[in-house]
Structure 1
Amino acid sequence: MRGVLVTGGSRGIGRAVAAAFAEGGDRVAIQYADRRSDAEETLRQLPGEGHALLQADLSDPAAAMRLVAEAVTALGVVDVLVNNAAVAPTADTRHPVADTAMADWQRIWRHMVQVNLLGAADLSWAVARHLINRGAGGAIVNIGSRGAFRGEPDFPAYGATKAALHALGQSLSVALAPHGITVTSVAPGFVATERQIAKLSGPEGERLCRESPFGRVGTPAEIAATVHFLASSAATWASGSVVDLNGASYLRP
C-alpha cells in the first residue's frame, strides 16, 4: 500500500486519478485550493480507508513544503506525487497577445507560472527529498498538455507552462533515476471533465469531437489509467517519457 499525493484532486482528471490509485489499494491525499465541497465529494467516493483531504494554495511559495509534510503525516509516507493542479484555460484566463492589456497579461502569466510550473517544481523537490531521505524509490507523474506542442494562441502562458513542466520532468528523470525514482509526464488532449460540459454540449462540441479520428474527446478515466500505470514498477523503463493521450488528434514528430 503506497501513499499518493494528488494535487488538484477536487474534480475532473484529479478526481479520476485519485480514484484509480484508491481502487488499486493505495492511500490518497487530495490537495485542493478552494473547492472544498468538490474535494469532499472526491474523498467520499474513494474506496478504502486512510485517505486525506489537504488544502493548499500552490501559488504560495511556502505551500509545497507544508503540503508534503501534511501528506506524510496523514499517510505515513508519500511514494507517488501526481502534479495535476493547474490554472486552466477559461474565459477569465484568456490572454491572446493582440487584445490583452499589459496588466492582465502580466497577472495571468505570473499566476500560471507560479501554479502550473513553480508549484509543481517545488512539490517535486519536496517529495523527491522525502524519498531520498527514506532511501525509497517512488514516482512523480506530471499532467501536462497537448497544448505544449501544438500551441495555445489564446492561452500562451498555459502552453508555455505545460511545455516547461514536460521539460522539468525529463530533467528530473535523469537526476532521480539513481535514487530509484521515476518521473514521467502525460500530455492529454481535450478531456470531458465537469468543467467542459457546457462547451461540449454547445456548438463547439462537434468540432472538438472531430479533432480525433475516433470522433470523440477523451475521458478522465482514460487519463487516470495511464497515470496509474506510469506510477507502477512495471513502467520504470518509461521514465523520462512524455506520453501523448489525445486520440490521434495531434501527432508530433
Structure 2
Amino acid sequence: MPDAVPAVPAVPVTAAFPATGRRVLVSGASRGLGRAVAHAFAENGDRVAVHYGSRRPDAEETLAALPGSGHVLLGADLADPSGAAALVSAAAAALGGIDVLVNNAAVNTPHPPATTPYDEWTAAWQQHVAVNLLGTAHLSHGAARAMIAQGTGGRIVNIGSRGAFRGEPDHPAYGATKAAVHALGQSLAVALAPHGIAVASVAPGFIDTDRVAHRLTGDEGAAIRAQSPFGRVAAPEEIAAAVRWLASPEAQWSSGAVLDLNGASHLRT
C-alpha cells in the first residue's frame, strides 16, 4: 500500500487582515454613496479617510457625522496623477497605513452623441477617463503598493455601474469607463492575490442620492422605479453594506467578482 500523501496545510496569506479597526480610504466621499460607504466603515469600528475633490463643505459634513474617532479629511484632484499619488500618501500617513481602498469618485455629466458639439464631446470623454478610469487605476496602484509593504493583505472595492452592461445613451463615456473599471478590477484581482489583496467591484443600478433626486419626481421618477420589479430604487446604505462586506476578511473568495446591485432591473446572461 503506498504511503499516504501528507496534507499540505492551507496558509491564508491574509491571516493578519483585521475585521475591524481597519484603515480605509474612500474616494469621493463628500456626499451620496461615498458618504454612506464612509459611514458604514466607521460604524464597523474602522478609521476612514474621507476624500473630496471640490465639495469640501459637504465632505466636512460627512466627516462630522461619522461615528468613532480617528477619521481624517483629505482633498485631491484625481484627474491629476500626482493628486492621486498625494492622496494615497496623505491617507497612509494620517491613518498609519491603508487596509481598504474604496474607489467611489467619479464624474457623470450628460453628453448625448446626437446633440453634443464635438468640443464638448471630447472634453467629456477626457474628464470621464481621467477621473473614473485613470483616477481609479492610480489610487489602486498606490494603495496596493502600501498594502504590499505592510504585509497584511488588503481589500480594494471599485464602484462600477449597471450602465457598463445596460448602456448609457446620454452618458456613454460614463458607461464605457465603468466597464473599464470592472475589467481593471479583475486584472488587479489576479495580479494582487499573491499578496493577500482581494479586489472586487459592485455594479449598482439607480441610487437615491441628492445628485439625482430631481430625476425621481414625476413621470421620469415613476419610470425609473419601474425598472426594478421591487418598484423602487436603491438606498445608498444598501450599496454601502455590500461594499463593506466585499472588504471584509470573509469575502476574499469574491475577489475578481463584479456584483450586480440593481434590484433585478437588469439581468446579465
TM-score by length of 2: 0.91
In the other structure, the counterpart of 2:138 is 122
In the other structure, the counterpart of 1:79 is 99
Q: Deviations over 1:109-132 (max 9, x none)?
A: 000000000000000000000111
Give the drift of 1:32: 0.2
1:182-201 matches, cutoff 5 A: 182-201=198-217
Q: Deviations over 1:64-111 (max 9, x none)?
A: 1100110011111110000000002xxxx2112111111111100000
Give the drift of 1:203: 2.6
1:51-62 matches, cutoff 5 A: 51-62=71-82
1:49 to 2:69 alignment: yes
* 8 Å CA contact retained: 1:13, 1:224: yes
Distance in 1 (alpha carbons) for counterparts of 2:268 and 2:225: 19
* 8 Å CA contact retained: 2:111, 2:121: yes
In structure 1, runs of 5+ residues without a counterpart are none
From 135, 154, 173, give the equivalent of 1:157: 173
Give the drift of 1:201: 2.1
* 8 Å CA contact retained: 1:2, 1:77: no
Aligned-pair identity (%):
65
Give the drift of 1:196: 1.6
* 8 Å CA contact retained: 2:97, 2:150: no
Give the drift of 1:55: 0.3
Q: Secondary structure at 2:81's aligned position in 1?
A: coil
Distance in 1 (alpha carbons) for counterparts of 2:213 and 2:110: 18
CA RMSD of aligned residues (A): 0.7
Question: Which AA in structure 1 matches 2:86?
Answer: R
1:231 to 2:247 alignment: yes
Distance in 2 (alpha carbons) for counterparts of 1:38 and 1:134: 32
1:23 to 2:43 alignment: yes
In the other structure, the counterpart of 1:134 is 150
Give the drift of 1:156: 0.6
Distance in 1 (alpha carbons) for counterparts of 2:182 and 2:255: 12
In the other structure, the counterpart of 1:32 is 52
| Bigger CA radius of gyration | 2
Question: Which AA in structure 1 matches 2:35?
Answer: R
From 201, 218, 231, give the equivalent of 1:202: 218
Question: Which AA in structure 2 matches 1:84?
Answer: N
In structure 2, runs of 5+ residues without a counterpart are 1-20
In the other structure, the counterpart of 2:11 is none
* 8 Å CA contact retained: 2:168, 2:174: yes
1:104 to 2:120 alignment: yes
1:242 to 2:258 alignment: yes
Equivalent residues, number? 249
Q: Secondary structure at 2:211's aligned position in 1?
A: helix
Distance in 1 (alpha carbons) for counterparts of 2:236 and 2:188: 26
Give the drift of 1:197: 1.5
* 8 Å CA contact retained: 2:102, 2:158: yes
Distance in 1 (alpha carbons) for counterparts of 2:181 and 2:195: 21
Distance in 2 (alpha carbons) for counterparts of 1:163 and 1:10: 24
Question: Which AA in structure 2 matches 1:76?
Answer: G
